[in-house]
Amino acid sequence: MQMSDIDRNVSLRIREWVRSNDGRMADLLSSLIRHDTVNRVVTGTEKECQQTLHAKLLELGLEAELYNPEEVQGFREHPAYYPGKDYSDRPNVNAVWKGTGGGKSLLFSSHIDTAAVAPGWETDPFTPYIEENKLYGLGSYDMKGGLVASIMAARCLMELGIQLKGDVLIESVVDEEFGGANGTVAGRARGFDADAVIIPEPTNLALYPAARGGALWRVTFRGTTGLSFSGEVMQNPANDAARFIVFLEKHEQERADLAGPAPWYSDRKEQLPIIVTRLEAGDLGSPLCDVGPVECHADIWVECYPGVDEDQLREELLQGYERFCGRSYEQGLARPEFRKMIRFLPGCSVAPDFPLLPLLAEEIEAATGRKAEVTGAPFACDAFVFNEFGSSPALILGPSGGNAHAPGEFVDLDSLAVLVEIYAAAMLRWCGRSSEPDEELKDQVRGDEDEKSD
């Protein structure tokens, strides 16, 4: 009897378990979606959902705890901590499936908070429903679906009677959206770490060893107001802001013609988003205005590749605007003022020789039947907390779906089932099996061999 036969049999048993438990997977995900966990930027309402999750992890037999980030020693002193948030009634959840020892540990790090309810939902975003094997609801795709996949993968191996050498860790953190990441920081300050990390953000089953960075700024132009009855020269800041927005559109197009840094972004040219998220000018409390505003504000989200810091990104825009206008600030060009709205999210990446990379790529191919797409993520997330400020390399791998941060958000349940299969296989291979295959599995393999010989 060859070990490869046992390996194949384990893979088949995992696949069969996943198929027979897809209803439990959908039920667990639905139970989390029913809780409103919208990130309110400074505050949040994640507590009840985290309590529900904590109870389910205890039922599964995992060692689990609820804790408040503010209670963690060294939380505020962590180099990635960002001030100005309120964590009252916003606990993190940690859970561990302890191994027998001698293996590598693996952490699945998910966030429980969601983006705001976008205008245009035609159904209640907190009442999940399934249509054409897609589960709809706020947070289904980003990223309660990936969290559920990690839990179901551990449950799969446990119910199949498979014991691992290394620990499997699962965390559900608060405050990731809107550049939060302090929930993730709290986990690191608490020492909840592993030899490798998988972040189940939505990737459509692609494997992302790198993530973009980004900044959200309020850009302000200042001018003068009034009516020129006596020849006064007025400078309308709305005109300056409009000119700056035209520049941003052109700059976004120019950046799309440039390849990104090797190795994860150099194989393609792609658009790095520059999004005007809000415009504000004039007296909004007045029924009408007959003069120009004295200030005009444009909130902008600007993404960047790994290796670019906040100052470099701001200087790129300031210098590019001068070139676009054909004159300098010293020559009278209105200089935009930048004010940070959230933390700067640095881009990050994992070394190409990190051993979990080929392992996950092989399991993606085995589960999907196609070569894994391994490339840089087209978004920013909290992976930087691990890859820039920690010692646990973090890869991003999650389900397929659509409409993240938009009405009609959904996760594809077929892809979620495939993800459970990939995660379970990754746990088995990375953490290591603690003992010889059980007698039931050996007998099953012997039976298969006897059938072949007949």
The predicted structure's pLDDT at residue 452: 46
The predicted structure's pLDDT at residue 429: 96
Q: Within this chain, do residues 297 and 401 fall inside the same structural domain, yes or no?
A: no
- The whole-number average pLDDT for the span 37-42 is 97
Q: Within this chain, do residues 216 and 287 fall inside the same structural domain, yes or no?
A: yes
The predicted structure's pLDDT at residue 3: 40
Q: Within this chain, do residues 239 and 170 fall inside the same structural domain, yes or no?
A: no
The string of pLDDT tens digits covering residues 108-161 is: 999 999 999 999 999 999 999 999 999 999 999 999 999 999 999 999 999 999
Q: Within this chain, do residues 141 and 196 fall inside the same structural domain, yes or no?
A: yes
Q: How far is CA 117 from the centre of its chain?
A: 18
**Residues 6+ positions from 141 with CB-CB distance below 8 Å:** 202, 399, 401, 402, 403, 404, 409, 410, 411
Within a domain: 371: no
Q: Within this chain, do residues 235 and 329 fall inside the same structural domain, yes or no?
A: yes
Within a domain: 91: yes
Q: Within this chain, do residues 150 and 43 fall inside the same structural domain, yes or no?
A: yes
Within a domain: 357: no
Percent of the chain residues topping a pLDDT of 90: 87
For the chain, the average pLDDT equals 93
C-alpha dihedral, 227 to 228 to 232 to 235, nearest 10°: 60
The predicted structure's pLDDT at residue 6: 55
The string of pLDDT tens digits covering residues 220-240 is: 999 998 777 767 777 899 999
Task: State how far the alpha carbon of 358 is from the alpha carbons of 12, 140, 193, in Å.
Answer: 21, 28, 21
User: Residue 281, SS3?
Assistant: strand
Instruction: Give the DSSP per-residue string, 402-435.
Output: E-TTSTT-EEEHHHHHHHHHHHHHHHHHHH-BSS
Q: Within this chain, do residues 242 and 144 fall inside the same structural domain, yes or no?
A: no
Kindly report the three-state secondary structure assignment for every residue of 234-274.
CCCHHHHHHHHHHHHHHHHHHHCCCECCCCCCCCCECCCCE
Residues 244, 246: Cα–Cα separation, whole Å:
5
Before 143, cis peptide (omega within 30)? yes
More reliable by pLDDT, 251 or 1: 251
Within a domain: 366: no
Note whether 21 and 156 are within 8 A (CB). Answer: yes
Percent of the chain residues topping a pLDDT of 70: 94
Q: Of 284, 311, 340, which residue is a domain's last?
A: 340
The string of pLDDT tens digits covering residues 148-192 is: 999 999 999 999 999 999 999 999 999 999 999 999 999 999 999
User: How many Cβ atoms from other residues are within 10 Å of residue 391's Cβ?
Assistant: 9
Per-residue pLDDT for 448 more than 80?
no
Instruction: With cut-offs at 50, 70 and 90, classify the pLDDT of residue 281.
Output: very high
Q: Of 340, 370, 393, which residue is a domain's last?
A: 340
The predicted structure's pLDDT at residue 2: 37
Q: Within this chain, do residues 164 and 224 fall inside the same structural domain, yes or no?
A: no
Domains held by the chain: number: 2
Within a domain: 453: no
Within a domain: 418: yes
The string of pLDDT tens digits covering residues 73-106 is: 999 999 999 999 999 999 999 999 999 999 999 9
Tracing tokens 């933390």 back to the chain, one arrives at 343
Within a domain: 152: yes
The predicted structure's pLDDT at residue 308: 97
The predicted structure's pLDDT at residue 1: 33
The predicted structure's pLDDT at residue 255: 95
Q: Judge if pTM exceeds 0.85.
A: yes
The string of pLDDT tens digits covering residues 303-350 is: 999 999 999 999 999 999 999 999 999 999 999 999 999 999 999 999
User: Residue 374, SS3?
Assistant: strand
More reliable by pLDDT, 284 or 10: 10
The predicted structure's pLDDT at residue 436: 56
Residues 257, 252: Cα–Cα separation, whole Å:
9
The predicted structure's pLDDT at residue 290: 79
Q: Within this chain, do residues 27 and 150 fall inside the same structural domain, yes or no?
A: yes
**CATH number of 60's domain:** 3.40.630.10
Per-residue pLDDT for 443 more than 80?
no
**CATH number of 244's domain:** 3.30.70.360
Q: How far is CA 225 from the centre of its chain?
A: 44
The predicted structure's pLDDT at residue 289: 82
Q: Within this chain, do residues 158 and 307 fall inside the same structural domain, yes or no?
A: no
Per-residue pLDDT for 254 more than 90?
yes
Within a domain: 364: no
Q: Within this chain, do residues 219 and 192 fall inside the same structural domain, yes or no?
A: no
Q: Within this chain, do residues 7 and 60 fall inside the same structural domain, yes or no?
A: yes
**Residues 6+ positions from 260 with CB-CB distance below 8 Å:** 266, 268, 270, 305, 376
238 CB-side CA count, 13 A:
10
Where in the sequence is the domain holding 270, given as residue range(s)?
212-340
